[in-house]
Amino acid sequence: MSRQPVIIVDADAIIGQTDAKDPHHQKSMEISQKLLELKAQVLYPVTAILEANAHMQRVLHSTADAYEVAQMMTDSAFTVVEVSKQTLTKALKYFNPTTSKKNTLFDCVVAAIAEEHEADAIFSFDQFYTKKGFTLAEKL
């Protein structure tokens, strides 16, 4: 890769990075380090931030962590990608009425943003993305 690699971050990676008890925590930290070494352009869809935030509050029972992550994402060091109607429309091609309940519209928005930004990989542990033709960041 001669250009700076573009990586889209999914909610499970955000949770993995912030929750030391998460089963993906160690791997998330290793991937994060690798992305720093590659000087990757890391993009955070606002929907992934919101999904991770809701998980932290509802499942992990940590409003404080959820608040800290939300506040951290407003820092200029993080590139947050907004979701337009066009992105939502594009996401629908990855979503259908018979899809698994694990593969949510949130995932489809991440895929649409990866497509829009011609991403090199998605930072996630969800095989949904590989099934849709995307590379996971751990494969870089």
Query: pLDDT digits over 60-76, tens only?
Result: 998 888 999 899 998 88
pLDDT score of 92 more than 50: yes
* Residue 11 DSSP SS3: helix
Average pLDDT, the chain: 94
10-41 pLDDT tens trace? 999 999 999 999 999 999 999 999 999 999 99
Domains of the chain and CATH, by start? 6-139 (3.40.50.1010)
Q: What is the DSSP string of 82-129?
A: P--HHHHHHHGGG--TTS-TTS-HHHHHHHHHHHHTT-SEEE---THH
- The pTM of this model reads 0.93
Distance between CA atoms of 124 and 136, rounded to whole angstroms? 6
What local confidence, expressed as pLDDT, does residue 1 receive?
47
Report the C-alpha dihedral over residues 6, 55, 94, 13, rounded to 10 degrees. 30
Distance between CA atoms of 53 and 67, rounded to whole angstroms? 8
